[in-house]
A and B are shown apart, each in its own frame.
Chain A
């Protein structure tokens, strides 16, 4: 009897645990589906590791979704999902949306590359948009659109900003997961800094080698503190939610941090704002919005779309909090921006090219 009882308790416990896990990524519908004469375009979006509220990459995607909802109102119906903590159920969530007859489905982040390629094949009628990922051999009539960014161009600008502001001749970079995508940020940043001051020293660190590295603010902070002790006085991060640790460390030592993806001055607490020099904007919101717009206008195109300085897809942030901080270097930054756009400055896209 006791054996049976304990088995029963174990069973109940596991079921309970599993159900909370599922509850965590339960579906969220923004609006109840109303029966209307015109058919709504159903837009689904699955976030990356870190999820909404990372004050960076995912929040930028969410901003694009919000904007589309505001502008197209009842023409579209929006739903977003967050993958489980390790992100293993990415493909499952995409499939779920596709089966629910969503017309356009976003995968936010390069981690979706394989799952989108797979799911898109099974649902040829559904359109997919992949942010930051590259699926080879796409054509205009493919049902996948890869939205890519020239992060190196934006990073070049903030690298120049860091070099212009540095008093010690040393600046820092904290990356999340060590992968080519993040090294692209690093390469552009270093090139930009060296463009201003060829002798500048750039201290580079990465938090880890798995997706977990994008949500380890503890290590982000420790690495930043180390860089500051070694003399860095401006630190740029490309580490998702780990970046809150980077900014926290820089602010606590009264040094500058540079945010990434979203304008992080806007979401930082009051006390940290004076120490956020600027942010490298990656207009994921624009990319998401434009893609939804193309669906609404009925001219969705598969293939590759690149967002660089020219397309206003990347850039540096200016807001009411950092206006005075960057006032003195703004002319220089604008000059560099023009030079990149018209090809006078060639920005390296990888660490190999940098050398």
Chain B
């Protein structure tokens, strides 16, 4: 039992960065803007998180990472919402840009191209009550507060999207911007806000990797988690709870692939593929039923050209 809980704890740590990014992506996509620049935004968060944590402590690091994530997202918003550039093109450009900028600033600020000095993380916490149950010990003690925050964000995202005027309008903008506009909902600002929230979440997730997980920034440490997050959000049917389970599935698959007993029969490469193959299968199998927001990916303008 202890082993399983241990694996769950590991799965949870791998889930959180994907989950937080996926939750952010929901805001962007539900407002009608595809965001494949998530990877770049995470990378930006990982870098500036480490820089901020080095100079202003872990909280400062997270705040800086969120701000920088928002800034990169703002570029995406300006380009895709105001200038109505193809959202995929802009997303790809953002990813390349973020990689280049991270290295540029790394050389400028740390004097090294690919790593930062090591940084302090947030104090680890225990969950009251649960920590006294011995079976749950691995997942209830000595954990990063960001893990708790990530899980709370699932509920917050659900509440915002389903119960608030803001959320309902955001979704309306993503479903049928023309109708929303006719009813006096300003399409452009809602889309800006949706994209910027996704940048904030991705920045937070990236900073979790550098500040909380390894206490250091290493170039490329996001390892494609931004794309996995996008897949998780799609698999989760653009819903917070769905995205949670999808992210967890990925984290769990990662944890399993690390624990598969190595044998001579199965080549190592195949074991390392497990999380990705699983993601692919799930996408191919489940997403056929998925219901994307009707207007996602389509730039909006009143003239309708």
Contacts and interface: CB of A to CB of B under 8 A. Distances in A.
B269 A225 contact: no
B299 to A, nearest CB: 8
Contact of A13 (B93, B99, B113): B93
A52 B116 CA distance: 11
Of B10, B90, B94, B103, chain A has the most CB atoms within 10 Å of the CB of B103
Nearest to A245: B214
A327 B86 CA distance: 64
Given A10-B90, A24-B113, A206-B268, A85 B99 contact: yes
Provide the main secondary structure of the chain B interface.
helix
Interface in B79-121: 79, 83-86, 89-90, 93-94, 96-97, 99-101, 103-104, 107, 110-115, 117-118
Interface in B214-230: 214-216, 218-221, 223
Interface stretch (A164-172, A190-198, A209-217): A209-217
B97 A215 contact: no
B164 interface: no
Interface in A191-229: 204-206, 208-209, 212, 215-223, 225-226, 229
A2 interface: yes
Contacts of A269: 117-118, 215
Interface stretch (A15-23, A148-156, A279-287): A15-23
Nearest to B90: A13
B13 interface: yes
A206 to B, nearest CB: 6
A2 B220 contact: no
Provide the main secondary structure of the chain A interface.
helix
B214 A244 contact: yes
A209 B103 contact: no
Nearest to B220: A215
A204 B213 CA distance: 22
Given A222-B14, A223-B258, A6 B96 contact: no
A20 B97 contact: yes
B13 A23 contact: no
Contacts of B114: 50-54, 82, 215, 241
Of B103, B104, B218, chain A has the most CB atoms within 10 Å of the CB of B218
Nearest to A246: B214
Interface string B283-305: 00000000000000000010001
Contacts of B301: 2
A18 B223 CA distance: 21
Given A215-B221, A217-B216, 16 more contacts: A9-B83, A10-B86, A13-B97, A17-B96, A17-B100, A20-B97, A20-B101, A51-B219, A53-B115, A178-B269, A223-B258, A244-B216, A245-B213, A245-B214, A248-B216, A269-B215
Report, nearest first, the 6 A-B pairs whose CB atoms are least far apart.
Answer: A53-B112, A20-B100, A24-B103, A51-B114, A21-B100, A17-B97
17 contacts: A6-B83, A10-B79, A10-B85, A14-B89, A17-B93, A20-B100, A21-B100, A23-B100, A24-B99, A51-B219, A54-B115, A55-B115, A215-B218, A221-B214, A245-B213, A248-B118, A248-B216
